[in-house]
Amino acid sequence: MGIANWLTRRRCRRVWNDPERTIATLESYARTEEDAGHDISAAIDRVGDGELIELMRRHAADERRHAELFRQRARSLREKHGIHDLGDITSDDKLLDLSRGRREQGLNAHGFFGNDQVDERGVVAYVAMLEHAEVQAEQLFSIHRELVSDDAETLAVFDEILRDEQYHVSYTRATLERWREEGREFEVRRARSAARSSRWWGAWKRAGAASASGFSRTLLRALYLTVLAPFALLARRRAGTGGWSEPSNGDPEDMRGQA
Amino acid sequence: MHVLGLSIGRDGAAAALVREGRPLALNMEERWTRRRADPSLPLRAARACLARVGAGRERPDYIVLAEKPVATFQRLLMNQMAAFPRGVGAFGRSMSRWLGDALWIKGRLADEFDLPGDRVLFADGHRALAAGAWATSPWSEAAILVLDRGAENDGASIFRGRDARIERLASLEGWQSLPTSRMVLADHLGLLMEGSDDDGRVGDLAAYGACHDGALDAALCRDSADGVSLAREAFDAWFDPEAGATARLQRLLGPAPRLPVGAVPSGPVADGAAAVEAFSARALLRLAQETRRRTECSRMCLAGPLATDATLLGHLAESGLFESIHVAPVADGGLAALGAALHGGQASEQGALLPAGGADWSVSLLGETLRGDVTQGPLALAGDEAVVEQLAARLVAGGCMAWLHGHAEPGPQARGRRCLLADPRSAAQRDALQADPVSFPAWRTAPLAFAEQAVPALFDVPPSARPAIANGPVAVRARPGVAQALGAGVHVDGRARVWSVGAGDHPLLHRVLTRVGERTGYAAALQTDLRRPGEPLMASVDDAVRLFEQSRWDGMIIEDRAWMREGRPPATA
């Protein structure tokens, strides 16, 4: 944990030393918070507990407000530094983009399972996931807060967001405790454990998928340059020269075929 | 028999549910994932469609995908082989995805919906678009021209629709796809919309530039015996997505220019846009000529991404090649899903035929309602008439009003139900409309929504454009004096993107515009989509209220509840 924390701090420090990275990171946080607001709103439809619905509504609204805070700060920094184009984001910088999992693996904004699986896993698992995600977010934003102590405006953004994150941790924890006291201890314990392992398991699967994808691409490229090379000439010959073509045997419709 | 049509990619994945040739539901995936033009398998949208049918129905009788995956795979393979050795990067990426996932979609769909494999069908993408366009048209015989970016290996297809059948007459290969070449050119000029393939900025920007010598057109588009031929060597991007604009294009358009932020553009970007527009218009006219020649029909349905390009539609209508042009009120993704479902119903064993032309249904009523509770809004308006009065009075007073009413439009663009409205007489109102959080460049002109009865007197609408203009904006010339009166809605070239709002299709908006007309003489409003840049249309009450809080708009009406900016009380009629 100590090493992970040190690595995160090191990465975060780089963010605040480079205006382009700062803007990219703030905008990625805005996207993540915005998505989280949508995710929570969508999950509310599947929750039957009236008290929890109200808490989640506030949570969703907070996430959207955070998105706006991050977005406004990024906008004012863009104006201040005259930056309109962030250029290419390096793979190293992609690590700072919390929204990457959502785009690439179809995960929800918190980096866990997709929203449509809330039905399968249940509300307890969802709240346990929220609790775990909020604890992680609080830790990450606390590190950022320490590193921006000389920038009053960004500091104020993190202060406001951290206050909310503490509230989110507090209500999700209280809800889980309430369910535990109502005799659902086993369910709550299992959900918390699943939330913790889901995060690590997700990271492990992402790493596995990335390395497998890299390996398969390398293999495919080698195949292309060796085995398939002779077919390139044929493909070039076969490539049409333009002009209209008419269906050969009438207008066939085989809808069971994929070709 | 329920048939679920699915469309992947295009301008957003979509699902449509059809029963015995009648559409029941149409949903875009982006509305659920909140990712603009989300191209992924539309499972959420499909479930939303099934949910609309009623409790207990979790699976359709058939699923029809608007693509032939193996044909697409073959095309990719051949293209990348033809681009040897430059295609190595694209080959590694695309084959990894296809071999790992996309080729096995039949099994995945069967598993997801618990259906036997033989209930998953595949419709050719162009045929699905043609079926959708044909089914939404009011005719019993017409030509259908499909111009698509082409998943399978077709760039353009000509069909003839007659009663309940469509028949393909001819196709162009995929690399000759006009929408693809236009997109590559727009990308080179930096004019693609953020997060989408939408090249709609080209038409707006072209008016600020000049197409000097037709060099681009001459280089890319050649006359041939059968109408059109695009120069293959200029379209390497089709074979290798990494190639972008080729050296030849770079010579013609110059090195990729940068679009100045905020300023009215001029110079290389605007001239480049004018050249691309001239090329696109000429190529489109040649394709339309060929369609006319092959089908011998005087009416045409147009489908594909260019069908929603107001400027190109304007050129096509002015050409007089066809008596009437129909454009479906549903954009590509939804249209392909709808067409696939209709076509699948036709082909399956109990087959329903395609709805014959003139069928009495409107897909514009199939989108989903807003999520969330609107009963808590601060000001209740007593019935539709109060909503109409409130909106009309506010607009005439120079207000900029957001409006969310009824079911959403089944497509990425608002047609009067998730929109922001403003008075077209004032440049200040146009600026308010274009400001944050909706924001789009000042040099773009928002479409004008006009009550249908007011259009002919103010704009020179070619007769062929009348069906199309009722379903979405078409660029038409303003009559003398109109540009001065409606300065905020008429572009620098004297054209406006006019949408004729019918009393039958959009009764409430039509009444609002008519009331505005009674007060100002112009039954019109500037209209733009209610969304943030890069996001889908508003889908929930919470989002809409939050967007309003971040804006400077005068007010917002959600169904029969009004939110007014502090210090700006509700207008009285």
**What part of B 194-213 touches A (C-beta under 8 Å)?**
none
Cβ contact B229–A235 (<8 Å): no
Q: Are B350 and B7 a contacting pair, CB within 8 Å?
A: no
A211 part of contact set with chain B, CB < 8 Å: no
A249 part of contact set with chain B, CB < 8 Å: no
The beta-carbon neighbor of B70 closest among A238, A241, A258 is A258
Strands B14-19 and B22-28: antiparallel
Strands B400-404 and B555-558: parallel
Domains of chain A as residue ranges with CATH: 2-224 (1.20.1260.10)
Domain B2-137+329-360, CATH among 3.30.420, 2.60.40, 3.40.50, 1.25.10: 3.30.420
Longest C-alpha distance within chain B, in Å? Answer: 70
Residues of B in contact with A215 (CB under 8 A): none
Regions in chain A scoring below 50 on pLDDT: 87-107, 109
Cβ contact B172–A243 (<8 Å): yes
Mutate to test the interface with B, among A224, A249, A253 (most CBs of B within 10 A): A224
Judge whether residue B155 has pLDDT over 50: yes
A207 part of contact set with chain B, CB < 8 Å: no
Residues of B in contact with A235 (CB under 8 A): 78, 81-82, 84
The per-residue pLDDT of chain B, averaged, comes to 81
Count of other CB atoms within 10 angstroms of residue B572: 7
- For B48, the closest chain A residue by CA position comes to A116
- Winning range, highest mean pLDDT, from A199-208, B25-34, B117-126, B363-372: B117-126
- For A62, the closest chain B residue by CA position comes to B546
Predicted confidence (pLDDT) per residue in B95-122, tens digit: 877 887 788 889 989 988 889 988 999 9
Q: Are B317 and B470 a contacting pair, CB within 8 Å?
A: no
Report the pLDDT value the prediction gives residue A95, as an integer from 0 to 100. Answer: 46
CATH code for residues B379-564: 3.90.870.20
More reliable by pLDDT, B361 or B62: B62
CA B424, distance to chain mean position in Å, is 23
Judge whether residue B499 has pLDDT over 80: yes
B100 part of contact set with chain A, CB < 8 Å: yes
A259 part of contact set with chain B, CB < 8 Å: yes
Report the pLDDT value the prediction gives residue A103, as an integer from 0 to 100. Answer: 46
Q: With cut-offs at 50, 70 and 90, classify the pLDDT of residue B90.
A: confident
More reliable by pLDDT, B275 or B566: B275
Judge whether residue B481 has pLDDT over 60: yes
Report the pLDDT value the prediction gives residue A210, as an integer from 0 to 100. Answer: 67
Report the pLDDT value the prediction gives residue B288, as an integer from 0 to 100. Answer: 94
Predicted confidence (pLDDT) per residue in A65-118, tens digit: 898 899 889 888 888 877 655 544 444 444 444 444 444 444 454 555 555 556
Report the pLDDT value the prediction gives residue B172, as an integer from 0 to 100. Answer: 87
Cβ contact A228–B81 (<8 Å): yes
CA distance A212 to B190: 34
Report the pLDDT value the prediction gives residue B96, as an integer from 0 to 100. Answer: 77
At B274, list the tokens.
């004018």
CA distance A137 to A121: 22
Report the pLDDT value the prediction gives residue B373, as an integer from 0 to 100. Answer: 66
Helix and strand counts by DSSP (H, E) for chain A:
10, 1
The beta-carbon neighbor of A116 closest among B44, B64, B290 is B44
Question: Coil, helix or strand for B512?
Answer: helix
B122 part of contact set with chain A, CB < 8 Å: yes
More reliable by pLDDT, A105 or B552: B552
Comparing B2-137+329-360 with B173-298, is the CATH topology the same? Answer: yes
Residues of A in contact with B542 (CB under 8 A): 41, 60-61, 64
Omega into B60 within 30° of 0, i.e. cis?
A: no
| Alpha-carbon gap: A122 to the closest alpha carbon of chain B (Å) | 18
Predicted confidence (pLDDT) per residue in B372-406, tens digit: 666 666 777 777 888 888 889 988 988 889 999 88
Report the pLDDT value the prediction gives residue B523, as an integer from 0 to 100. Answer: 93
Tokens 């040739």, located at residue = B21
Judge whether residue B353 has pLDDT over 60: no
**Domain extents in chain B:** 2-137+329-360, 173-298, 379-564
Burial of B98 (0-12, 13-18, 19+ CB in 10 A): middle
Mean pLDDT of B417-431: 84
Q: First vs last Cα of chain B: how many Å apart?
A: 50
The beta-carbon neighbor of A244 closest among B64, B226, B261 is B226
Asked if CATH classification 1.10.1030.10 holds for the domain at B173-298, the reply, yes or no, is no
CA distance B469 to B352: 30
Report the pLDDT value the prediction gives residue B513, as an integer from 0 to 100. Answer: 94
Q: Are A164 and A123 a contacting pair, CB within 8 Å?
A: no
Mean pLDDT of B277-293: 90
| Alpha-carbon gap: B120 to the closest alpha carbon of chain A (Å) | 7
A79 part of contact set with chain B, CB < 8 Å: no
Predicted confidence (pLDDT) per residue in B57-79, tens digit: 678 999 999 999 998 888 888 88
B261 part of contact set with chain A, CB < 8 Å: yes
